[in-house]
Amino acid sequence: MIANYGFKDGSGDWYVTIDTDKCNGCGKCVEVCPEKILEVGPDEFDIFREEPVAFVRHDERKKVRYSCAPCKPGFGEKPAPCAGACEFGAISHSEGWKALYER
C-alpha cells in the first residue's frame, strides 16, 4: 500500500509517501528524523498486516510542510535523512518542497 501523509493546498502538494510493501518496520527512519515525525507501529490502514510499519505520527500529518522543510526533501544532491536511511527506498516526498527551494 502507498500511504500519503500530509495535505494539498493552494501552495502545492505536501506529502510524505511511505510504500508499506517495501517497509519492514526496522525503524531506521524514525531514528534519523530530526523533527521526530515518524513512528513505527501496527498498520492502521491494513489491520491484517502482521509486521509493524513506519508512518507519520497523527499530530504531525497536518504540519509536514513545515516539519519536513529543514531537510529540503527532493532538493539538491542528497536525499532527505529518512529517505536515505531506508535501504528499501520506501520513503519519498512530493514535489512541494523541491519547488519551494528552487524558486
Partner 1 sequence: MAQQGKPVEFWRWPETNWVNPYIDWEKGKLVTAGVDVGSVSTQAVIMVDGEFFAFGNTRTGSDSPNSAIKGMGYALEKTDMKIENIDYCIGTGYGRVNVPMAQQSITEISCHARGANFMYGPEVRTVMDMGGQDCKVINVDDRGKVLNFMMNDKCAAGTGRGMEVFADLIHVPVWEIGPRSFQISKEPPSISSTCVVFAKSEVVGLLEQGVPENEIMAAYCSAMAHRIMELLKRLGVKEKFVITGGIAKNEGVVKRLEKELGIKTAEQVWANPQYRKKNYPFDTQLAGALGAALFGQALLKMGKTISVKKT
Interacting residue ranges for partner 1, rule: CB under 8 A: 1-4, 7-9, 13, 15, 44-47, 62
Cα separation, 57 vs 63, in Å, equals: 10
For partner 1, the closer of residues 15 and 97 by Cβ is 15
For partner 1, the closer of residues 31 and 46 by Cβ is 46
How is residue 56 annotated by DSSP? E
CB of 2 to partner 1, least distance (A): 4
Cα separation, 12 vs 100, in Å, equals: 9
With contact defined as beta carbons under 8 Å apart, do 52 and 40 qualify?
Answer: yes
For partner 1, the closer of residues 4 and 24 by Cβ is 4
